[in-house]
């Protein structure tokens, strides 16, 4: 753990503060590791510490061991007392904004001493965190990596066309698919972004993609400023400050959201309990 924290903070001093050791104690622990294994894990310099190539190669396994140890200790604690601990969640912005705050608020009314660590990323990053054991579980678009166990959420997230106010397409009740080719398009690029790419491929559409980003809010701001149109999940379009218009597609399209984990059996009891606070039912 001393090694992992030194890597995260790029500093023995900050790692020592985090783990409540002295700086020399952290340095000695890592020196002992390097001597025992016969490798140099970190390069020391005036600006801090950095991984060597050997350290980089060993880091994922060391992190996995520490995460497994933390999970073991967490499960031992659960045998004695379920009232404390940490739940680590990987997610993307729309779930973090519109689902997790209410879930956490409700959960902490019953379990006020359980803390949360929320990691925000794209689909690929979240998959990686789950595999490494960096998070207990993650929210993902389904289908996902076959190595992971998944549970789908019954409610599907509708994909809507996003327009600036006064746009010619605002006159349509539902946007014809071919009209997506007629105006500059701002593409939300999350992971492989299959849900929007599938729409284009299925209907043989060739939109005029002028801008790509993984940030939903950047897309909305650019649409508001008349830089183009886009397609975004309905979930992220709730309670937004932007002056934009949303319209259904002529042929409805959806994003399927689910929860992914390495193994349902290995999921801590407190993580399983938290998942029960989802605003929608799970499809097991």
- Each as own residue / partner, the long-range contacts of residues 97-100 (CB below 8 Å, 24 or more positions apart, any chain) are 97/236, 98/235, 98/236, 98/238, 98/239, 99/139, 99/235, 99/278, 99/279
Structural domains in the chain, sorted by start: 1-80 (1.10.10.10), 82-155+256-284 (3.40.190.10), 157-254 (3.40.190.10)
Q: How confident is the model at residue 268 (pLDDT cuts 50, 70, 90)?
A: confident
Specify the pLDDT at position 89: 96
- Higher model confidence: residue 280 or residue 97? 97
pLDDT on residue 188? 82
pLDDT of residue 12: 92
pLDDT reported for residue 60: 92
d(CA 85, CA 117): 11
Give 75's pLDDT tier (boundaries 50, 70, 90). confident
* pLDDT score of 215 more than 80: yes
DSSP 8-state secondary structure symbol assigned to residue 6: H
Question: Binning pLDDT at 50, 70 and 90, where does residue 251 land?
Answer: very high
Quote the pLDDT of residue 283. 67
Query: What would the pLDDT profile of 115-155 be if each residue is shown by its tens digit?
Result: 999 999 888 899 999 998 899 999 998 888 678 999 998 77
Q: Is the dihedral of CA 154, 274, 75, 58 positive or negative?
A: positive
Considering the chain, what percentage of its residues have pLDDT values greater than 90? 60
From CA 272, how far away is CA 36, in angstroms rounded?
Answer: 39
The average pLDDT across 203-230 equals: 92
Mean pLDDT of the chain: 89
Q: Pull the structure tokens for residue 41.
A: 């894990």
32-48 pLDDT, tens per residue?
A: 999 999 999 999 988 88
For residue 80, what pLDDT band results from cuts at 50, 70 and 90? low
- Give pLDDT, residue 225: 96
Model pLDDT for residues 18-34, shown as the tens digit of each residue: 888 999 999 999 999 99
Give the least confident one: 1-10, 66-75, 163-172.
66-75
Is there a contact between 176 and 199 (Cβ–Cβ < 8 Å)?
no
pLDDT-based confidence at 192, cuts 50/70/90? very low
- Would you give the DSSP letter of residue 180? G
Q: Which helix (H) or strand (E) segment is 113 a member of?
A: strand 113-120
Percent of the chain scoring above 70 in pLDDT: 94
Residue 191 confidence (pLDDT) above 80: no
């Amino acid at each position: 753990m001393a090694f992992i924290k030194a890597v995260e903070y790029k500093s023995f001093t900050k790692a020592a503060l985090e783990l409540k050791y002295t700086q020399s104690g952290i340095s000695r622990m890592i020196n002992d590791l390097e001597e025992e294994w016969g490798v140099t894990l970190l390069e020391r310099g005036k600006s801090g510490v950095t991984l060597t190539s050997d350290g980089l190669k060993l880091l994922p396994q060391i992190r996995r061991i520490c995460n497994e140890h933390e999970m073991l200790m967490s499960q031992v604690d659960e045998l004695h007392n379920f009232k404390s601990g940490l739940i680590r969640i990987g997610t993307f912005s729309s779930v973090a904004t519109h689902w997790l705050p209410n879930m956490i608020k409700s959960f902490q009314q019953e379990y006020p001493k359980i803390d949360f660590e929320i990691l925000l990323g794209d689909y690929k990053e979240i998959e990686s965190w789950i595999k490494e054991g960096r998070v207990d579980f993650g929210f993902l678009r389904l289908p996902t990596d076959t190595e992971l166990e998944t549970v789908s959420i019954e409610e599907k997230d509708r994909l809507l066309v996003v327009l600036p106010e006064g746009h010619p397409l605002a006159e349509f009740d539902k946007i014809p698919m071919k009209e997506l080719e007629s105006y500059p398009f701002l593409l939300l690029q999350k992971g492989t972004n299959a849900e929007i790419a599938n729409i284009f491929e299925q209907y043989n559409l060739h939109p005029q993609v002028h801008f790509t980003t993984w940030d939903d809010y950047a897309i909305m701001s650019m649409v508001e400023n008349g830089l183009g149109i886009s397609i975004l999940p309905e979930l992220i379009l709730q309670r937004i400050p932007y002056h934009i218009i949303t319209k259904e597609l002529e042929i409805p399209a959806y994003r399927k959201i689910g929860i992914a984990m390495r193994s349902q059996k290995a999921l801590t009891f407190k993580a399983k309990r938290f998942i029960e606070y989802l605003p929608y039912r799970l499809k097991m």
